Homo-oligomer: A and B are copies of this chain.
């Protein structure tokens, strides 16, 4: 047998460590990183702040761990398990399922908190910006571009700039998601915005699809 280099041990310790991360995420996403104290985090867990330092060597390390988790989070893996080669054949329905993933993000507390953390710290934290840009924006826009390109090749949609199309499809989804998270903060109704996710896809597809010549021959 060989020794284990990983800092934290399994069994019980990791449970506390995960609870720290979970509690920190909740607080960071609500009050912001700078306004959240280690006493806040410990207090919310029912332990003393000194206990945190058995699991993380600083407050910063907690944030960094949360940021690292971002890369494997659902909010940056929209296309994840999809077979990108054959995807275009599904036509409109693949767009709808992407929009649905966006929509559902706001309904999982963990994902919503990650999104709020990202939005609040993105201007101050270069690493978050990097992850957002690389894994979230660029990655998805690139895949969308490829998707639209294939659809054009196969005469499913009108010919135009695939990259522009990708941005035009992506940006409303992002915006609507932000709107939903803002409305929820004030406990306002989100239904009208939530319905925009599907309306966006309907509208978007109607605009780009190639009209079928219904009864010409």
Contacts and interface: CB of A to CB of B under 8 A. Distances in A.
Interface in A87-138: 116, 119-120, 122-124, 126, 129, 132-133, 137
A116 B32 CA distance: 15
A126 B183 CA distance: 11
Nearest to A35: B34
B182 A129 contact: yes
Contacts of A172: 167-168, 171-172, 175
A148 interface: no
Q: How large is the interface on A (under 10, 10 to 19, 20 to 34, 35 or more residues)?
A: 35 or more
Contact of A123 (B119, B167, B207): B119
Contact of A161 (B160, B176, B199): B199
Interface in A138-177: 160-161, 164-165, 167-168, 170-172, 174-176
A216 interface: no
Contacts of A35: 34, 124
Nearest to A132: B182
Interface in A181-206: 181-182, 185-186, 196, 199-200, 203-204
26 contacts: A30-B123, A31-B124, A32-B32, A32-B34, A32-B124, A34-B34, A116-B123, A119-B119, A119-B123, A120-B124, A122-B182, A123-B182, A126-B185, A132-B182, A133-B182, A161-B199, A164-B196, A164-B200, A167-B200, A168-B204, A170-B175, A171-B174, A171-B175, A171-B176, A172-B172, A174-B175
Given A35-B124, A123-B181, A168-B200, 18 more contacts: A30-B123, A31-B124, A32-B34, A32-B123, A123-B182, A129-B182, A129-B186, A132-B182, A133-B182, A160-B203, A164-B196, A164-B199, A164-B203, A165-B203, A167-B172, A168-B172, A170-B175, A172-B175
